[in-house]
Every structure is written in structure tokens, then in C-alpha cells.
Amino acid sequence: MGLEKEGERARDPSTRYRVRRIGLSSLSKFGCVLGALVNFLPSLIVGWAGLLVVRGLRRLLEGWERADIHILGQEIRVDVISLLNLESLLHTVREIDALSWALVVLFAILASLLGALVFLVMGNLLGWVYNFVAALSGGLEVELKELSQR
């Protein structure tokens, strides 16, 4: 099973290579692009979820502006926002909600850039570790086989 005849070996040529070093500049480029692509969709989803939270908070706070309390058949209107001194919070939430889609896109871009930076740093660290270990051990050995043309 594991033994090959000499004639079969001639028809099925393979070449062995040893990876002694990984180029850190190509690894950096690859890490940046991969990190940005991997993080873009999740950051859009998180940004959209944040938008839903801001809209829900706005509706909640705006509902507190005119709260009705029923006591003994009488209706009393109370402004809970003023009582709790939440006017500045409501104003800020309204401003964020007005800029919502621009903030979602900005968040997605910044999160993608942060992901690219993380992948770049982690890739370079792993590249340095591999290069150090390969210098001591000789690196990984890879056997490549040429594919037949169809």
C-alpha cells in the first residue's frame, strides 16, 4: 500500500520544497485585506442593531414626556423626562437617531479598519514566530504534485 513501484513514481512526479521563511510584507497585506473583509458584514449587523436600540430608546423616552396617571377617576399628566432631568439624554438620542445611517456606515468602516489592524498584528506575530522556529528547525517541508492537463 505505502510502497510505490518505480514506474508509477516516474509517471507521477512530485517535488519537495521547504518553507524556510515567510515574507512579512505580503503577510501584512494579506492580513489587512482579510481582516477588513471578515469584519465588514458583522460590523454592519452590529451597527444596524445599535440603530434599532437607539430608535427604541428614543420611542421610550418620548413616551415618558407625556405620561398619564389615573387616580380616583382623574387623569394627571406628568412629564417624567423633566422630573428625572433627562432632557439632555433625549436630545442626544434624537441627534444620534437623525444621523443613524451615516453612523452605521461610519461604524462599519471603523470596525473593518480595526479588524484589519488586528489581523495585521496577529499575522505578523505569527509570521515572526514561524520564521524564528523555521530558522531553528529548517522549516516545513511540502510535497507538491503537478496536476495533469485536461
Domain assignment present for residue 67? The answer is yes
Domain assignment present for residue 150? The answer is no
- Cβ-Cβ contacts under 8 Å for 60 (sequence gap 6 or more): none
pLDDT digits (tens, 9 = 90+) for 6-63: 445 555 578 888 888 999 999 999 999 999 999 999 999 999 998 999 999 999 988 8
Q: How many domains does the chain have?
A: 1
pLDDT digits (tens, 9 = 90+) for 61-98: 888 888 778 888 888 888 888 888 888 999 999 998 88
pLDDT classification of 103: cutoffs 50, 70, 90: confident
pLDDT at 4 over 60: no
Domain hosting 130: range is 28-139
- Cβ-Cβ contacts under 8 Å for 89 (sequence gap 6 or more): 61
Domain assignment present for residue 14? The answer is no
pLDDT value, residue 5: 47
pLDDT at 100 over 50: yes
What are 136's three cell numbers?
531553528
pLDDT at 123 over 60: yes
Contact call for residues 123 and 23 (beta carbons, < 8 A): no
Domain assignment present for residue 147? The answer is no
Domain assignment present for residue 54? The answer is yes
pLDDT value, residue 133: 94
Domain assignment present for residue 18? The answer is no
Domain assignment present for residue 15? The answer is no
Domain assignment present for residue 6? The answer is no
